[in-house]
Structure 1
Amino acid sequence: MLLNADFSLSAALAPEDYQWVNSPQNGVERVMLDRVGKEKARATSIVRYAPDSYFPHHLHPGGEEILVLSGTFSADDQDYPAGWYLRSPPKSGHKPYSREGAIIFVKLWQMLADEDRQVAIDTQDTKNWQPHGERQVCHLFSNDNEQVSLQRLNAGEALFTTDIVGGAELLVIAGELIDAGQIYKRGGWIRLPTGELPKINAGAEGVTVYLKTGHLSQIESIDFTSL
């Protein structure tokens, strides 16, 4: 399956246009944002767990990145309420489930093979936020390949002030983001290719976004041949 698979092009989805589809596991649905491959895929998705739903234990050969958007996501007897950022390197595995139900943002098979850091950050903890100019930033992960953070912008503030290097991807966590007149509310997703300076601004009440940059410059170095 190929969905938004040309990473030299922009892609976007507003939450009002979500199309939920069933996963192979009962009680787990997803909105596919981009995808290269079938069930085993390089994929970016919004995943919804019904109460008491789960996946059996499985491995992630290409790694997995998760941001818990609502409810409580659990894995291997650890609970992660809304706001937790989780990053599991290639060849890691887990048994994910949710007792109360949860919605999570998930990125699969998007790490370089030599990444080995396990990350778990509570973005609701104010100690994890620092001022950066006029905005507040919660740093989540950084290496030579990508930079990941949550960013809180004031009303009308521009998200980008320089050309994008290595592409960018963002998800609206709270508030509104305005891109060329299009308003993206909570759950809105945008992916941008390298070399652009898009005019994307926070809405009237400000905005909190998940922001990943740099990762699309390395897309050709990830091995999709086994997907």
Structure 2
Amino acid sequence: MDQNAGAIALVGSGEYSVQMQELETELLHRAISRGKRNTFVQIPTASSHEGDSSREKWKRLGKEQSDRIGSECIYLPIHERDDAFNPEFVDAIKGAGLIYFSGGDPHRVAEIFNGSPLWNEIVAEWKTGTSLAGCSAGAMAFGGTIMGIRKSHHSEGLGLLTGIEVIPHYDKMLGWLPDRVTAFIANTFSDATLLGIDENTALVHTDAWRKFGRGNVHVLRGNLEIAQ
């Protein structure tokens, strides 16, 4: 991975929670130390189709976390693909400290952001030191392909981490959908490294991949070195 890039976090669950406050603070402060602004950009696209109550919930939770951390909260209402072409939203993320994609439907994230000016700017900011995080659907969307946990087929991801596929909520997913998880692990058509990330747990890359949180990161297919 590019040594000039910012931190990236793949989170199994718990965005904007007290349990993950330490991680989000560290991600933000790391970017600030590299000249980025004390801004916490929150992108609710993955769940924005669930209606106004869901949108307001994530907006409130994100603001509360930003206040606890002591950062400026920037909530970007990216609900449809046209929003990812809005120049005001593109400008809003320039120099951001932390950009966070919260959970929901990963396929929706990829469909709205792929090839858009906003996604291109997010990648550009990350490559110059902005920290980037995705929780659940957000983590899944960063890969080259997204596994069909909610759909019956795989779909194209955002391609930021082309060699990685993620199963979030892994400790819970084994109980919810054991047959589907087993099928993912046995899939011989993919050469990507398949990771299961437990709830309230993250896999974070700075100079190396490291685990954060109470649970485990499971390498289910392929190889990935995780520093202790």
Normalization by structure 1: what TM-score?
Answer: 0.30
Greater fraction of residues in helix: 2
Normalization by structure 2: what TM-score?
Answer: 0.30
Structure with the bigger RCO (C-alpha within 8 Å, sep 6+) is: 2
